[in-house]
Amino acid sequence: MKKWLVRFFSKEGRMTNATIFFLSLLVAVPSGIAQERGKFTVIAWLHQNDWDAGLSSLESHSAQIAEVSPAWYQVQSNGALKNNPNAFVDDSRLLNDVKKNGFLLRPIISNVDASGSHPEWALPVLTNPTLRAALADNIVALVEAKNYAGVDIDIEGLLPKQLPVLADFVEELSAALRSKGKTVAVSLEPTMAQSALVSWKRIGVAADSVRLMLYGEHRASTAPGPSASLWWSRLRLQHILQAVPPEKLTVGVSIVALYWTKGNYRTGTWQRLVRPVQANSGALSRDTDSSAPIVRSGEGQVWFEDRQSLAARITMLKSLGLKKVALWRLGGEDPGIWQALSQEQ
């Protein structure tokens, strides 16, 4: 052992050039690994409203994306599944992209349609053990028949006190899918309720990953603002991190543009809502907290996500040890967001 050590140090105890080289390798290799660990994982949510634009974006940024979750299926109150109306279920273009790029494909199964969330579809199933088992069976059959990697369970509009039945379901479904080599991601709505923590913890243990849909701070019924300011986001993340470990948590980031005009609100893409305004005026201001960009046109204002605001968000996520984001939803987004992500990939 001594002999071995001597080789790398000169008599005087100074390091030889060879030793410096060797040690630099020792330093470089782990730091390389550390960088690898620091890679941000990007999950792409897809929705029929921006389907082809979403696929074009997916194809353009395939090297940056690990997984796709298209909004394809709906839960029905009898435990059956149905295709989301107008969804491009099993679109061969997407299936080809998945095959070509090795994306994980975990479609969304939700209780949401164009009019919003429907707890009345989900609760009769979740609260009835027989129907709950039937729904799990149907999902297993679907995943096996379609050979999906798993599913993204997105049950929205539940009150915190109703979350225990969702946790029951996730535990049962996870066990069933895991036995077939399939996985479950669960998408959750952000809340600051203490009562959510117990169920979240159970979900965090049972599911393979948890996706916090961290947006909706400003919407139709609020004043204009970012979809998720940084302080609002940080609070909610700190809350869920009490229940779900950071390595299991994916942060849902909205890249949808929000447009408020006098007495009117709608959402759209950067491509449709921001680009034309920017081309005309070029005027862009920023929210001081979130760095979110805002463009104004007459009395209207559009809030969206760009390179700078996403970079600020990523810095905040990193400070919490979070390295996975899911983008809601691909298609027509500001191309700058991909540059912000590439800094971390």
Comparing CA positions, the residue from 112, 114, 69 lying closest to residue 267 is 114
DSSP helix/strand/coil, 107: coil
Q: How many CA atoms lie within 13 A of 194 on its CB side?
A: 0
Cβ contacts of residue 313 below 8 Å, gap of 6+? 230, 233, 253, 290, 305
Round to whole Å and give the CA distance between 113 and 7. 70
Cα–chain center distance at 168: 23
Residue 84 per-residue DSSP state: P
Choice from 10, 60, 86, 222 touching other proteins (CB under 8 A): 86
Q: Does 144 bind other proteins (CB under 8 A)?
A: yes
Closer to other proteins by CB, 138 or 297: give it: 138
Closer to other proteins by CB, 40 or 73: give it: 73
Quick one: which segment of 75-83, 167-175, 194-202, 332-340 binds other proteins (CB under 8 A)?
75-83
| String of contacts with other proteins for each residue 91-130, x by CB under 8 A | xxx-------------------------------------
| 82 touches 110 (CB < 8 A) | no
DSSP helix/strand/coil, 208: coil
| 303 touches 226 (CB < 8 A) | yes
- Pairing, β 81-83 against β 108-110: unpaired
How far apart are CB 145 and other proteins at their closest, in Å?
Answer: 4
Q: Does 288 bind other proteins (CB under 8 A)?
A: no
Tokens of 125: 């199933």
Quick one: which segment of 38-46, 141-149, 160-168, 212-220 binds other proteins (CB under 8 A)?
141-149
Q: Does 78 bind other proteins (CB under 8 A)?
A: no
Q: How far apart are the first and last CA of the chain?
A: 40
Choice from 16, 24, 83, 222 touching other proteins (CB under 8 A): 83
Closer to other proteins by CB, 107 or 226: give it: 107
Q: Does 82 bind other proteins (CB under 8 A)?
A: yes
Quick one: which segment of 6-14, 90-98, 253-261, 267-275 binds other proteins (CB under 8 A)?
90-98
Q: Does 141 bind other proteins (CB under 8 A)?
A: yes
Choice from 90, 156, 208, 287 touching other proteins (CB under 8 A): 90
Choice from 89, 176, 241, 312 touching other proteins (CB under 8 A): 89
Instruction: Tell me which residues touch other proteins (CB under 8 A).
Output: 80-83, 85-86, 88-93, 137-138, 141-142, 144-145
